[in-house]
Structure 1
Amino acid sequence: MKPFRHAAIATALLLSGTALAQEPVVNAPSGGVSGTLEGSIRSFKGIPYAVPPVGGMRWRPPAPMQPWTGIRAARDFGPACVQPQAKAPTNVYAPAQPMPVSEDCLTLNIWAPANAKKAPVFFWIHGGALSGGSSREPMYDGRKLAEQGVIVVSINYRLGVLGWLAHPALSAESPQKVSGNYGLLDQMAALAWVKHNIAAFGGDPAKVTIAGESAGGLSVMFLMESPLARGTFSQAIAQSAYMVAMPALKKQAYGAPSAEAVGTMLSAGLQAPDLAALRGMDAQAITDGAAKLGFFPFGVVDGLVLPSQMAEAFDQGRQAPVPILTGFNQGEIRSLRVLAPKAPATAEEYEKAIREKYGEFADAFLKLYPAATYKESILATTRDTLYGWTSERLARKQAALGKPAYVYLWDHGYPAMDDRDLHAFHASELPYVFGNLTPLPPLWPAIPENERPLSDAMLGYWASFTRTGNPGTAWPAFGKARNYLHITDAPRASADLMPGMYDHYEAVVCRRRAAGIAWNWNVGLASPKLPTKAKGCD
C-alpha cells in the first residue's frame, strides 16, 4: 500500500523560521522537530511515527510516513487512540476527565538528555487491557527517567476493536491473508521509527529496551515472540505481564471460537452487514458498541505476526534471546476484583469446590491457597496464575537461553493505600518507576513525599537495566536459587520466590494445554475440572 497523509497530519503546524533557544530542534531522517527544554532534558511530544489507516482504510497495517519538510512543532501530546470514555472516574486508573481521542493517534514522545550521545533507549508501551490508556498520561512522563542518562520513548497504538479486530473479509483483502494484531503492528512501526531516527536525538538504535506494564507487559511478550520485531530491541522489561491462552485466527482453540468468527459475530451484533459498513461507522460508535457487546481485544495466533501460542514459543526457545527484568505485585487483584470469582459463604464450601475441581492437585492447591483464609486465597490464586507464574516463566525461559533474568515482587504499601485495602495493587509501582508521585488519577491513593527515596531506588534499577542489562549489584539474577528483589518498605534481595507456586501452575497449565482447555483467570473456584491424565504432563 502506498503511503498517504491523513488530513490532520498534512495540516499540522510547521515552523519555517528559526526556533527559539529554549526550543531545541532535531533534524531527524523522518523530518525536523522542535521541542521543549526542561532543565537538562529535551522533550518532543506528539511526533507521528506512521500514518494511521482511518475510516475507509481502517484495519490495515500502519502506513509509513513520508519525510516532512520544515520543522514540525512537537511540544504537545497527540490525542489518545479511540477508546471508551467515562464521564467521571470510576476506578483508581481513570483520569479526572476524558482524554482527547482520535483515529489519527499514532504518535510517540521522546525525553532525551541535552548532551545525549549513543544513549540507551527505554521504549514504553502503556497498559489498559489493549482497550484503553495513552502515552499522554502524566504518570508516564519520562523526564525523571531521562535524568538517569537514558532516552525515554512512549507510544500510542490502536486499541480495542480498531486495533485488534480479525474478520474473514479483512483476511481476504490482506496479501498475507491474515487480520487482527493491528495494534501490535503499530508498536512494531514505532520501533522501526526509533531504529531509523533515534540517533538524531542522541540515542543508540542498537540499545533499545522494550518495556510495559499489564497489557504493555503482554505486548512486550508479543514482541519477543514475533519474528517481525526481531532486531528492533535488545532487552525487555515486563511488569505484571500475563501469558494466557490466545485465540487462533481461523479455528477454534482452547475452547474459544476463532478470531475471525468473533469478528463475524461482532459485525452482526453491530448490524454492519459487510466490511464497508464497518468502515463507514463512526470510530467512537464502533468502539463503544463493540465494548458493550463484550468484544475482548487480544493478540491473535495468525502464523505470521504471532506464529503460535506464547507458551509454546517460549517452551521451544523461539522468543527473542534478550535479557529480561520482570515481576508482579503482591496485591494485583485488590484493584481488579472483577477477575476473581465470587467468594462462597464458608471455608468448607471453598475447600469442597477446590477438591472437586482440582482432584489430585487439590492438596497442593490448598497448601498454597488455604481454606482458613479463603477470601485472601481467592485473590492470591488469580494473582499467581496470571502474573506470578508468568513472571517466573519468563525468567526461567530467558535464563534457559543463557540470558540474564531479574525478578521482583512489589509488596509495598503506604497508609492511604493500605487503608483502602489496596496494598501493592496492580500498577501501583508505576509512579515509583517513573518518579512521578504526582499528579495521579483522582481516585489513586495519594503518595506522600516521604516515598521519594524508594522511587529514587526504582528509577535507578530501571535505568541501570536499560543501560547495562543489569539493574545493579543489590539485585541478584534469578538463577537456580530463584532469587528476586522483594520490595516492601525498602528493596531486599531474597530467594526462593513463593515456594511451590510455579511448579503447581506449570503442572496445571500443562494438563489444560494437553486437553485443549484455556488457561487464564478461570482458576480456583472458576476452574473447570482438571483432566486426570494428560500425555506429556505426567
Structure 2
Amino acid sequence: MRLFLRLGACAAAALLSFGAMAEDNPTVRAPAGSVAGRSSGDLNVFKGIPYAKPPVGPLRWKAPEALPSWTGVRDAGAPGLACVQPKAAGTTVYTSPPPAMGEDCLTLNITAPKRAKSAPVLVWIHGGTLLNGYGFNEMYDGAALARRGVIVVSINYRLSVLGYMAHPGLSAENPDGISGNYGLLDQIAALRWIHDNIAAFGGDPANVTVSGESAGALSVMYLMASPKAKGLFAKAVVESGYMISMPELKQPNHGEFAAEAIGSYIAGQVGATDVAALRAMDAETLVQAAAKVNYFPLGTVDGKVLTGQLVDVFDKGGQAPVPILAGFNSGEIRSLRWLIAPPPADAKAYEAMIRERYGDLADEFLRLYPATSTLEESELAATRDALYGWTAERLVRDQTRLGQPGYLYLFDHGYPAMDDKGLHSFHASEIPYVFGTMAHTPSYWPKAPDSPVERRLTAAMSDYWASFARDGKPVAEGLPAWPVFGQDEGYMAFTDTAQPGHKVMPGMYALHEATVCRRRAAGNLPWNWNTGVVSPVLPPHAEGC
C-alpha cells in the first residue's frame, strides 16, 4: 500500500512503501522521515530530499516553514527541481541550464561514505549571483570528498525576486515588519534540517562546514553575520567571495536604494499593483520580467536576519567565531569582463583618471595597477583585488582577530585550453579541483587535459578541503604545510603545485581597505564594482582610515 501526504506534487510522487524499495537501495530512517537513496560503490547518495514546505501560493515570499515528518519511504534517487531562475541570454563558460525548475525546489542532496559514523559534514551553497544555479549540478558532485571521509550536502535555495525581493506590502504582513532575504532564510532552514537529521546519515551535527563560491561565498558571509544562523555550523569556506555594500530595508544608504523601494519599482515594472497581484503571477514569467529590468538580488539589512553591513558586523566582531578558509583566483575577472569599463585611449588618460579619482591614494594605485602595462590587464587586476582579493584577506584577518585560525589561498593555475582563451585561473575555475569533477564541467568550460599535473593538483586541493572540514586545519599528506594567516600573513598558492608563501600581493589589501573605509565614512558611496577609472572621486582622508 502506498502512503502519500500533501507535500506538493513532487513530494507526494516521491513517497513509496518500504516494500517498493530495491534491496540495494540504502534506506535511512531520519527524524524527518525515511528515505531510500542509491548505492554507488563505497558511497550512499540521496537526492532531492525536501527540507521545508514548498514556498508556493500563499507561502511565496514567506520564511520557509518546517515540513512535517512523512510516513513511508521517500525515494531519494533523483534530484528535485531547480529553483526558478531567468533564462540565460547567451552562452558563457558557466552556461549549464537546469533540466527543470519550479517553486517546489527547497531540496538537498547528500553523498555519504558507507558506514559513516560521526563524519564531518560539508554543506555546499552554489553560486550564480543569487540569480542562477542549482545544488545538483554535476560539477558539485560530492563523491571525491566523500571518499575522503566527508559527508557532502548540496542545497537549493530561492533565487532572484522570489528569493531576495523586499516590498512594503510584504513587510506589512510580516510580524517583524521586514521582507527580503528569503533565499538566505532557506539556507538557514536547510542548516537546521541538517542539524536535526544528518546523524541518521552518519554525520556529526556539531562538525558542519558551510562553504560556497561567488554568490555561494557571499551567502556564507551572510550566514556568518546572521544571528539566525548562530550555532548551526562550526567552520566556513569562502571561495571568491565579495563583501560588497547591501541595500537597507527602508532607507537609502551608502549609495544604494532602499530595498523596499527596489521591490516597489520591480512590481511596477512587471505590472503588479500589490502583493496579491505579485503572488498571482506565474513564477517563471515574473522572474524573467524582473531580469529584463535588471533586477540584481542581494541580502537586505533588515535588523533581524541581517543586522548591519557585513563590513560593520565583522569590524565589531559580531560574526560567527569559526575557523575560515578563504581565497581568490588570479584571473577572476577574465570571465567577468562586464565588470570592467573599456580602457581609456592611452596610458596618459588612464593615469589622469586615476589621479582625479584616487587623490592621495593614486600613487599606490598606479604602483599596483600601472599605466605602463597593458591597460586592460591593470583593470582586470584592480577589479579582481577590489572585489575578491580584498574580501578574502579581510575575512582571514577578521577571524584571526577573533582568535580563530584563518587560511588564505591564491588559485593561479591554468592549462592550454584555458590559457588559449585568455581565461587563466578564471572565476570559479578552482571548483572542479576541490570536488574532483573536471570530467563534469559545463559544456563551454575549457576542457582540461587528463595529465599528471591536473590529477595531482586535484588530489591536493580535495585533500586540503576535506581535512579542513574534518579538523579545521587544511592538511594534505606529503604536501607542504598550509601556514595559518596569523603567522606572518601566510597563504597557500595553487599553481601547478601547492606552494606556501607569506604576504600575498603586498599592498593590495591596504589600498582597497583604505578605499572602502573612505566610502563607508562618506555614507553615500557603495563599495562594489566601481573601481579604477569608474570609481567615484574618493573623499579625502577620513578618521580611522
TM-score normalized by structure 1?
0.97
Aligned equivalent of 1:524, options 520, 529, 532: 532
Residue type at the aligned position of 2:93: V
Do 1:125 and 1:155's aligned partners in 2 also have CA atoms closer than 8 Å?
Answer: yes
Aligned equivalent of 2:60, options 58, 61, 65: 58
Q: Which residue of 2 aligns with 1:338?
A: 338
In 2, Cα distance between the equivalents of 1:15 and 1:351? 71
Following superposition, the deviation at residue 258 of structure 1 comes to 0.2
Do 2:124 and 2:152's aligned partners in 1 also have CA atoms closer than 8 Å?
Answer: yes
Following superposition, the deviation at residue 12 of structure 1 comes to 2.9
Output one character per residue of 1:95-152: Cα deviation in whole Å (capped at 9) or x when no partner: 2x55310100000000000010000000000000000000121100111110000100
Q: Which residue of 2 aligns with 1:453?
A: 456
Following superposition, the deviation at residue 179 of structure 1 comes to 0.2
Change (3 A) 1:178 1:528: same
Do 1:125 and 1:211's aligned partners in 2 also have CA atoms closer than 8 Å?
Answer: yes
3-state DSSP of counterpart to 1:191:
helix
Change (3 A) 1:65 1:80: same
In 1, Cα distance between the equivalents of 2:197 and 2:256? 41
Do 2:111 and 2:142's aligned partners in 1 also have CA atoms closer than 8 Å?
Answer: yes
In 1, Cα distance between the equivalents of 2:9 and 2:297? 28
Residue type at the aligned position of 2:201: F
| Superposed counterparts of 1:259-270, under 5 Å | 259-270=259-270
Output one character per residue of 1:477-505: Cα deviation in whole Å (capped at 9) or x when no partner: 01141111011111100111110011111
Aligned equivalent of 1:43, options 42, 45, 50: 45
3-state DSSP of counterpart to 1:449:
coil
Q: Which residue of 2 aligns with 1:411?
A: 412
Residues 1:86 and 2:88 aligned together = yes
Aligned equivalent of 2:23, options 4, 21, 24: 21
Do 1:56 and 1:280's aligned partners in 2 also have CA atoms closer than 8 Å?
Answer: no
Do 1:238 and 1:327's aligned partners in 2 also have CA atoms closer than 8 Å?
Answer: yes
Residues 1:488 and 2:490 aligned together = no
| Superposed counterparts of 1:349-498, under 5 Å | 349-373=349-373, 374-450=375-451, 451-472=454-475, 474-498=481-505
Residue type at the aligned position of 2:180: G
Q: Which residue of 2 aligns with 1:208?
A: 208
Following superposition, the deviation at residue 7 of structure 1 comes to 3.6
Do 1:15 and 1:73's aligned partners in 2 also have CA atoms closer than 8 Å?
Answer: no
Q: Which residue of 1 aligns with 2:71?
A: 69
In 2, Cα distance between the equivalents of 1:480 and 1:468? 19
Q: Which residue of 1 aligns with 2:272?
A: 272
Residues 1:509 and 2:516 aligned together = yes
In 2, Cα distance between the equivalents of 1:487 and 1:86? 31
In 1, Cα distance between the equivalents of 2:16 and 2:163? 29
3-state DSSP of counterpart to 1:322:
coil
Do 2:36 and 2:75's aligned partners in 1 also have CA atoms closer than 8 Å?
Answer: yes
- Aligned-residue CA RMSD (Å): 1.2
In 2, Cα distance between the equivalents of 1:98 and 1:324? 31
Runs of at least 5 residues in structure 1 that lack an aligned partner in the other structure: none
3-state DSSP of counterpart to 1:448:
coil
Do 2:15 and 2:72's aligned partners in 1 also have CA atoms closer than 8 Å?
Answer: no
3-state DSSP of counterpart to 2:372:
helix
Output one character per residue of 1:184-218: Cα deviation in whole Å (capped at 9) or x when no partner: 00000000000000000000000000000000000
In 2, Cα distance between the equivalents of 1:257 and 1:132? 23
Change (3 A) 1:251 1:4: farther
Following superposition, the deviation at residue 4 of structure 1 comes to 7.4
Following superposition, the deviation at residue 52 of structure 1 comes to 2.4
| Superposed counterparts of 1:294-305, under 5 Å | 294-305=294-305
In 2, Cα distance between the equivalents of 1:45 and 1:8? 13
Identity of aligned residues (%): 57
Q: Which residue of 1 aligns with 2:312?
A: 312
| Superposed counterparts of 1:178-193, under 5 Å | 178-193=178-193
In 2, Cα distance between the equivalents of 1:50 and 1:189? 7
Q: Which residue of 1 aligns with 2:239?
A: 239
Residue type at the aligned position of 1:132: N
Corresponding residue pairs, total: 533
Do 1:112 and 1:201's aligned partners in 2 also have CA atoms closer than 8 Å?
Answer: yes
Output one character per residue of 1:366-410: Cα deviation in whole Å (capped at 9) or x when no partner: 001000122101000110010000000000000001101100000
Residue type at the aligned position of 1:40: D
